[in-house]
């Protein structure tokens, strides 16, 4: 647990909590690709070939990213950038769900599906912030540190 008496400790604790939450979220979502495949197919654009394979492959990627968030400390920033890129890559699936009007995950109206699109940039920002990938600050010694003050 972070020592609250140290400068920046509350920020580190918050980043840690968000990183763990994202990791667990990715693990649960990744497993869901295999246990609730039909729901995830609703997000897969109809023009994609091998849609079921895409769902399974993205599930494997989500599990791997979740595990990496939780356990791969030495490559935390790279994991953050990779997760952010993954959120960008899957965004067209969310747009497709809106455009096709497909119900899944409790999103049963165009308004609900549209509001969901607003959360993708939030997930991207949280992935970068919680891993110290962004923003990076300059230090007095001239080097760059992640948001968590880590090198």
pLDDT at 42: 84
Write out pLDDT tens, residues 71-95. 988 999 999 999 999 999 999 999 9
What is the C-alpha to C-alpha distance for residues 93 and 140, in angstroms, rounded to an integer? 44
pLDDT at 43: 87
- Determine which helix (DSSP H) or strand (DSSP E) holds 33, and give its type and residue range: helix 9-35
pLDDT at 106: 86
* Matching residue, tokens 């007095």: 140
Alpha helices in 43-118 (DSSP H): 51-71, 76-100, 110-117
* Spatial contact of 79 and 69, defined as CB atoms under 8 Å apart: yes
Tell me the pLDDT of the chain (151 aa) as tens digits: 444 445 556 688 999 999 999 999 999 999 999 999 998 998 899 899 999 999 999 999 999 999 999 998 899 999 999 999 999 999 999 999 899 988 888 888 999 999 999 999 999 999 999 999 987 655 455 555 554 455 4
What is the C-alpha to C-alpha distance for residues 151 and 148, in angstroms, rounded to an integer? 9
């Amino acid at each position: 647990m972070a020592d609250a008496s140290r400068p920046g400790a509350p920020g580190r604790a918050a980043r840690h909590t968000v990183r763990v939450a994202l990791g667990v979220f990715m693990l649960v979502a990744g497993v869901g690709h295999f246990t609730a495949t039909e729901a995830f197919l609703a997000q897969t654009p109809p023009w994609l070939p091998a849609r079921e394979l895409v769902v399974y492959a993205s599930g494997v990627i989500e599990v791997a990213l979740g595990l990496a968030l939780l356990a791969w400390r030495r490559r935390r920033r790279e994991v953050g950038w990779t997760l952010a890129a993954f959120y960008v890559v899957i965004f067209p699936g969310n747009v497709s769900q809106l455009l096709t009007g497909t119900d899944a995950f409790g999103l049963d109206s165009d308004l609900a599906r549209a509001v969901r699109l607003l959360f993708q940039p939030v997930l991207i920002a949280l992935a970068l912030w919680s891993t110290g990938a962004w923003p990076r600050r300059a230090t007095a010694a001239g080097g760059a540190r992640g948001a968590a003050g880590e090198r």
